[in-house]
Structure 1
Amino acid sequence: MDAERLAARWRERLESWAIPEAIMAKAPVDPWGHSPERFATRTDRALAEPDDGPTVTRLAEALSGKGSDKGPGKGTLLDVGAGSGAASLPLREHIGHLYAVDTSAPMLEDLTARADKLGVPVTTVAGRWPDVADDVPVADVAIAAHVVYNVPDLAAFLRALDRRTQGRVVLELPHRHPMSWLTPLWQHFHGVDRPVRPVAEDCVALAAALGYPVRVEEREAPLERFTSLEELAASACRRICLDPSMADEVAATVLELGMWPMPRDRWTTVWWE
Structure 2
Amino acid sequence: MDVEELATRWRERLESWAIPARILAEAPVDPWAHSPVRFASRTDRALTEPDGGPTVTRVLEALPEKGSLLDLGSGTGASSLPLHARVGEVVAVDESAGMLSGLEDRAGKVGVPVTLVEGRWPDVAADVPVCDVAVSGHVVYNVPDLVEFVRAAHAHVRRRVVLELTHRHPMSWLNPLWEHFHDVRRPVRPVAEDVVALVAALGYRVRVEEREAPLERFVSLEELSLSACRRLCLDPMRAGEVGRTAMELGMWPVPRDRWATIWWDKE
Bin of the TM-score, shorter chain as denominator length: over 0.9
Paired position in structure 1 for 2:151: 159
Paired position in structure 1 for 2:36: 36
1:182-201 pair list within 5 angstroms: 182-201=174-193
Whole-angstrom distance in 1 between the partners of 2:198 and 2:145: 11
1:248-259 pair list within 5 angstroms: 248-259=240-251
For residues 57-93 of structure 1, the C-alpha deviation after alignment (integer angstroms, 9 at most, x for no partner) is 1111111xx3xxxxxx221000000000000000001
Paired position in structure 2 for 1:178: 170
Q: Does 1:2 align with 2:18?
A: no
Whole-angstrom distance in 2 between the partners of 1:240 and 1:212: 38
Whole-angstrom distance in 1 between the partners of 2:234 and 2:187: 20
Q: Structure 1 segments of 4 or more deviating over 2 A? A: none
Unaligned 5+ residue runs, structure 1?
67-72
Identity of aligned residues (%): 71
SS at match of 1:189: helix
Per-residue deviation at 1:106?
Answer: 0.9
Per-residue deviation at 1:134?
Answer: 1.1
SS at match of 2:70: strand
SS at match of 1:93: coil
Paired position in structure 2 for 1:231: 223
SS at match of 1:226: coil
Alignment partner of 1:240 out of 226, 232, 243: 232
1:94-113 pair list within 5 angstroms: 94-113=86-105
For residues 17-72 of structure 1, the C-alpha deviation after alignment (integer angstroms, 9 at most, x for no partner) is 00000000000000000001000000011011111100001111111xx3xxxxxx
Amino acid across the alignment from 2:36: P
Whole-angstrom distance in 2 between the partners of 1:178 and 1:89: 23
Whole-angstrom distance in 2 between the partners of 1:207 and 1:14: 17
Paired position in structure 2 for 1:142: 134
What is the root-mean-square deviation of aligned Cα atoms in Å? 0.5
SS at match of 1:230: helix
Amino acid across the alignment from 1:97: E
Counting matched residue pairs gives 265
SS at match of 2:260: strand
SS at match of 2:52: coil
1:10-49 pair list within 5 angstroms: 10-49=10-49
Alignment partner of 1:123 out of 111, 115, 124: 115
Q: What is the TM-score of this pair, normalised by structure 1?
A: 0.96
Alignment partner of 1:82 out of 74, 79, 93: 74
Paired position in structure 2 for 1:267: 259
SS at match of 1:142: strand
Amino acid across the alignment from 2:113: P
